[in-house]
Amino acid sequence: MSARPLLALVAAAVLGCRTSSAPPPPAEPAVRELPVQEPRVDEVAPAERRLPADWRERGAWDFEAYVATLERAPWTAGSRFVLAAALDEQDAGSVRAALLLAWGADASRELLLAHLESRQPQPRRADDAAEVVAAAALGRWGDPALAAPLARLAAGTPPHPDLEVRVECAAAALDLGETSVVPFLLRVLHAGTPAELEDPGDWPPTETLAWAKSRAAEALSRRAGHPSRFRPDGSFAHQMEEADALARELGVTP
């Protein structure tokens, strides 16, 4: 699957189903310096692309059509500055900014990773949409060097404060070959079932687990080489059986 339909799917999904927010991490994490300073003049170098002036105001269909025309190419310094600032606003513009940066070059990749590593808490359920899109984009970048920082965001100390961002970071890391996140993804599948007693989650209790469980199961199943059979609304027995089957297939003791 190409990156474009995946990112469109993730963007649509995150706007419809989010978790409750988590408190800030107990320790202040290291935050990357954003590698973009506000330029005085946004000059366009050869092969660079400038952000359209109406990128925020375009209707949803027009914006989608514009993104569908993009190929990976560097944004101008001024465009990156605008998009990096938009990521912090936790609104629909933030999701658009993440999607546009996903079609940038290495400097855009660094902006997406730096934003995730800032570990910003999301007060409202939909506020993590841009972070989920950013994680999915990094997973599709295809650079194995991104696997370790994504794994730390998923299951490091401290992890990202939002569960669904953690799941998408773990899925991206696993796609890039980092198997250390498998126990965390299995723990997500155990959440809310009797198996949680033996494998408790390290996130605040939440009743909105369907999206996180579905994404975790998809990532694990993809690694195992088959489509996901996991139903987040299935019985406890079904959920635990599928989690155990995935654990065995991936060499983890259930």
Q: How far apart are CA 43 and CA 218, in angstroms?
A: 42
Burial-class residue 237 by CB neighbours within 10 Å (0-12, 13-18, 19+): exposed
Encode pLDDT of 49-97 as tens digits: 999 999 999 999 999 999 999 999 999 999 999 999 999 888 899 999 9
Q: Looking at the predicted structure, is the pLDDT value of residue 125 above 90?
A: no
Q: How far apart are CA 171 and CA 189, in angstroms?
A: 13
Least confident of 20-29, 75-84, 174-183: 20-29
If you average pLDDT over residues 25-37, what whole number do you get?
Answer: 48
Which DSSP state fits 131? Answer: H
Instruction: Give the model's pLDDT for residue 194.
Output: 95
| pTM of the full structure | 0.82
Q: Where are the domains of the chain?
A: 3-249
Instruction: Give the model's pLDDT for residue 20.
Output: 38
Detail the DSSP E strand segments found in the chain. Answer: none
Of 148, 137, 138, 206, the closest CA to residue 177 belongs to 148
Instruction: Give the model's pLDDT for residue 29.
Output: 47
Query: CB–CB of 49/157 below 8 Å?
Result: no
Tokens of 17: 């189903």
Tokens of 137: 């984009």
Q: How far apart are CA 163 and CA 154, in angstroms?
A: 8
Q: Looking at the predicted structure, is the pLDDT value of residue 12 above 70?
A: no
Angle at 90 between CA 142 and CA 220, to 5 degrees: 35
28 pLDDT tier (thresholds 50, 70, 90): very low
Tokens of 69: 């025309």
Q: How far apart are CA 137 and CA 4, in angstroms?
A: 9
Instruction: Give the model's pLDDT for residue 38.
Output: 53
19 pLDDT tier (thresholds 50, 70, 90): very low
Helix (H, G, I), strand (E, B) or coil at 118: coil
Instruction: Give the model's pLDDT for residue 90.
Output: 83
Q: What is the DSSP string of 60-89?
A: HHHHHHHHHT--S-PBPHHHHHHHHHHHTT
**The residue type at 49:** R
Q: How far apart are CA 105 and CA 107, in angstroms?
A: 6
Q: How far apart are CA 120 and CA 130, in angstroms?
A: 11
